[in-house]
């Protein structure tokens, strides 16, 4: 075990777009677990658009303060433990932050099963998979034959949402940035149509891709894409509000989408925000069903793995720019 | 029976604010019912903010076209019938339009019970009452002890929503225009607090009136009031979207409220639009319960009755300006 611990600090709260200048690689002494704590070695850091949102202020968690280790969930291995619940060698998911090692209360670490590839614990069997599963099935509640649209469709959550909707017998339209991602959605993941939001008029192209309208829209982005989808929603449609990545990096739009609340009334729409933490009780059953689909080859798991703790800032900046396809994570050690 | 039928025509689709110049009083021959139709004498015309929305284009009904009789629901008495379902003397609710007499298909007329005062058939036992009842209880779903806020609180629907919420054990905050209406809400209707949206900073005053936050917001107005309420919502709050009167008369805001979808996600809010027509199956039971509350003195019914068909345009214009307290209607004959 080294005697120094590499850490990535958030040195400044970004006012506009996130850049490398907001981070700094530092070294600290190895942390020492206090009573009830464990020492965990970080294996893979999960990168999520939400990381950026945390810098803006309190959300469903407190804000990440400038000068502290950047927060983030990771797959980690226990190397020392003062708790009977965890022993060295155990794999856990925890908010370790962006560093090689973290000392944290044992009760803040969720023990994970051993499976291969390990990285699936951060993608389809992790937050992304459960988010897609409960957001689509519990909040969106699609019926067979309905049209489901999903934004950030080539991302970690979106790529699973679309495939789960296909498994459930829906017509699926993905919204993503760039022709290459769109071709991947329809060619590899089996989406029925894909719309490149960077090209042409979104409203028009969405109408072509969803000629019968949209029954369920799984919203990862907010902003203009949400507005365009609102106008295409069918009577009694449901919008599952998962995130608003278009609003996280840089100044958010000073207003919301047109059609709120007018279209909600006229079309009897439901918009519902959700956070995956609220569905912890569903995790075991959802993971089992996701696994059955993966094992049967019905659900393709795309991962985008970047090497080296020092590359984590660039990996997040790239994720916010839409670089990744599937679940992005950083292999630390 | 006269041989001429007075009618109020919408002569022009208003581009901005509705004014008297958009209407004209005309005379037409008495209509003759066709097979399957009835001839109805209009007694009371119901005035609703939705009348204005219908002029803007198709909503849950087709738009009212310039040059035609202004559409509107009314309490009417059958004077001739070609249908076995209705006989002269029957009271019905129907979209007769703004005129003394209307011929319309019998199946478009809903037979009403005879009760006193008749006007209650247009207020608490009419669309307003059922809208308040199902919107609050089925869409908002308040629990005892929760805080319910309602906008246009002194209006036909809002005044009932707040009182029903009190009956259900909630803390009730009304949002209305003017000190007089606010005093009436707290002094006469038993609301716990009232906020005059025309005075001071709404967000701040709402926070004072609802120090524990808002669990259910019944939205009749949209726009800035909706935005202010969004920021005061509690975790897992529900917003029942009933209407958007702030957007009907004049150019609607070119955007929606801030906080959509960001606050929906972080606070796990649900916003649901509804239209009372979808709850027809609940009408009998809801009306019975409303009647029990009225009879027990728990629910006060405020009506604002204006005389004369010729005054209907001014009555609607005044309603959009917030003149009325409770259900506004026009006594025709």
Tell me, yes or no, if A221 comes closer than 8 A to chain B by beta carbon: no
B137 and B237 belong to one structural domain: yes
- Please report the pLDDT score of residue A175 as a whole number: 98
Of B59, B60, B257, the CB nearest to A260: B257
Q: For every one of its 333 residues, what pLDDT tens digit does chain A have, with 9 covering 90 and above? A: 888 999 999 999 999 999 999 999 999 999 999 999 999 999 999 999 999 999 988 888 888 888 999 999 999 999 999 899 999 999 999 999 999 999 999 999 999 998 999 999 999 999 999 999 999 999 999 999 999 999 999 999 999 999 999 999 999 999 999 999 999 999 999 999 999 999 989 999 999 999 999 999 999 999 999 999 999 999 999 999 999 998 888 887 889 999 999 999 999 999 999 999 999 999 999 999 999 999 999 999 999 999 999 999 999 999 999 999 999 999 998
Q: Is B178 a residue whose pLDDT tops 90?
A: yes
Tell me: pLDDT of B128 over 90: yes
Predicted TM-score (pTM) of the model is 0.95
Residues with Cβ within 8 Å of B107's Cβ and at least 6 positions away in sequence, in order, are B36, B83, B85
Do residues B114 and B202 both lie within one domain? no
> CB neighbours of A162 closer than 8 A, spacing ≥ 6?
A148, A150, A153, A172, A174, A185, A189, A191
Task: Examine the domain organization and report whether B43 and B73 are in the same domain.
Answer: yes
Rounded Cα distance between A47 and A59, Å, is: 17
Mean pLDDT over B66-76 rounds to 96
Q: Specify whether the CB–CB gap between B149 and B206 falls below 8 A.
A: yes
**CA–CA distance, A241 with A276 (Å, rounded to integer):** 11
Helix or strand or coil: residue B34? coil
pLDDT at B61: 84
Cα–Cα distances in Å, from B85 out to A13, A81, B80, B301?
Answer: 71, 81, 12, 31
**Residue B56: what pLDDT?**
84
Residue A220 lies in a domain: yes
Domain with B244, as residue range(s), is: 127-277
User: pLDDT-based confidence at B95, cuts 50/70/90?
Assistant: very high
With 90 as the cut, is the pLDDT of residue B110 above it? yes
Same domain, yes or no, for B117 and B193? no
Q: Quickly list DSSP for A97-138.
A: -SBSEEEEEGGG-EEE---SSGGGGTTTTSHHHHHHHHIIII
Give residue A264's pLDDT. 97
Same domain, A90 and A145: no
3-state secondary structure of B7: strand
Query: Nearest CA to CA, how far is A226 from chain B (Å)?
Result: 8
Instruction: Look up the ipTM and state it.
Output: 0.94
Q: Which two tokens stand for residue B173?
A: 């905050």
pLDDT of residue B58 exceeding 90: no
pLDDT of amino acid A155: 97
**Residues of chain B numbered 42-101 and touching chain A (CB < 8 Å):** 59-60
Query: Are residues B116 and B131 part of one domain?
Result: no
Note whether residue A295 is domain-resident.
no
pLDDT recorded at residue A62: 85
The CATH number of whichever domain residue B41 belongs to comes to 3.90.180.10
Cα B328 from Cα B44, distance rounded (Å): 10
Task: Quote the DSSP letter at residue A55.
Answer: T
Same domain, B111 and B20: yes
For residue A241, which residues of chain B lie inside 8 Å, CB to CB? 261, 264-265
Q: Partners of A303 in the beta sheet?
A: A327
In this structure, is residue B283 part of a structural domain? Answer: no
Residues 6+ positions from B116 with CB-CB distance below 8 Å = none
- Residue B200, chain A, CB below 8 Å: the answer is no
Instruction: Convert the pLDDT of each residue in B280-331 to its tens digit.
Output: 999 999 999 999 999 999 999 999 999 999 999 999 999 999 999 999 999 9
Residue B177 lies in a domain: yes
State how many domains chain B has.
2
Residue-by-residue DSSP string for B82-131: SSTT--TT-EEEEE--SBSEEEEEGGG-EEE---SSGGGGTTTTSHHHHH
Mutant choice from A139, A260, A269 vs B, greatest count of B C-beta within 10 A: A260
Q: In this structure, are A219 and A315 located in the same domain?
A: no
Nearest CA in chain A to B219: A261
Q: For residues A150 and A152, what is the distance between their CA atoms, to the nearest angstrom?
A: 7
A101 and A238 share one domain: no
pLDDT of residue B254: 84
- Nearest residue of chain B to residue A242 (CA atoms): B265
pLDDT band at residue B253 using 50, 70 and 90 as cut-offs = confident
Q: For the residues of A246-300, what is the DSSP string, one character each? A: GGTSSSPPSSB-TTTTHHHHHHT-EEEE--GGGGGGGHHHHHHHHHHHHHTTSS-
- Condensed to tens digits (0 to 9), the pLDDT of residues B129-152 reads 999 999 999 999 999 999 999 999
Percentage of chain B surpassing pLDDT 70? 100
Where residue B202 sits, what CATH number does that domain have? 3.40.50.720
- Given an 8 Å threshold on Cβ–Cβ distance, is B265 in contact with A275? yes
Give percent above pLDDT 90 in chain B: 91
Q: Is B261 on the interface with A (CB under 8 A)?
A: yes
Residues B176 and B247 placed together within one structural domain of the fold: yes
| Position A289 in a domain | no
Q: Residue A256 and residue B256: Cβ atoms within 8 Å?
A: yes
Q: Determine, yes or no, domain membership for B293.
A: no
Q: Is B66 helix (H, G, I), strand (E, B) or coil?
A: coil
User: Which residues have a Cβ under 8 Å from the Cβ of A34 and sit 6 or more positions away?
Assistant: A82, A103
């Amino acid at each position: 075990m080294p005697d120094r611990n590499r850490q990535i600090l958030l040195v400044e709260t970004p006012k506009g777009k996130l850049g490398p200048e907001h981070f700094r690689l530092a070294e600290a002494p190895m942390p020492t677990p206090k009573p009830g704590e464990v020492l965990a070695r970080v294996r893979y850091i999960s990168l999520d658009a939400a990381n950026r949102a945390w810098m803006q202020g309190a959300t469903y968690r407190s804000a990440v303060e400038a000068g502290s280790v950047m927060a983030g969930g990771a797959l980690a291995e226990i190397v020392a433990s003062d708790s009977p619940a965890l022993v060295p060698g155990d794999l856990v998911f925890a908010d370790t932050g962006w560093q090689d090692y973290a000392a944290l209360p044992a009760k803040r670490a969720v023990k994970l099963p051993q499976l291969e590839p390990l990285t699936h614990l951060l993608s389809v069997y992790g937050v992304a998979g459960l988010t897609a599963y409960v957001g689509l099935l519990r909040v969106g509640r699609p019926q067979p034959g309905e049209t489901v649209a999903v934004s950030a469709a080539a991302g970690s959550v979106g790529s699973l949402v679309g495939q789960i909707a296909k498994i459930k017998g829906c017509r699926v339209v993905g919204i993503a940035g760039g022709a290459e991602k769109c071709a991947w959605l329809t060619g590899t993941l089996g989406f029925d149509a894909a719309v490149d939001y960077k090209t042409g008029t979104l409203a028009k192209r969405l109408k072509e891709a969803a000629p019968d309208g949209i029954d369920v829209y799984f919203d990862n982005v907010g902003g203009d894409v949400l507005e365009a989808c609102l106008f295409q929603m069918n009577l009694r449609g449901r919008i599952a509000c998962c995130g608003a990545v278009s609003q996280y990096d840089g100044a958010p739009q000073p207003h919301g989408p047109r059609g709120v609340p007018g279209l909600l009334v006229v079309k009897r729409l439901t918009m519902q925000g959700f956070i995956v933490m609220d569905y912890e009780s569903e995790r075991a059953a959802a993971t089992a069903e996701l696994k059955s689909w993966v094992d049967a080859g019905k659900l393709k798991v795309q991962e985008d793995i970047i090497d080296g703790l020092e590359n984590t800032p660039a990996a997040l900046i790239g994720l916010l720019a839409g670089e990744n396809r599937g679940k992005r994570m950083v292999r630390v050690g």
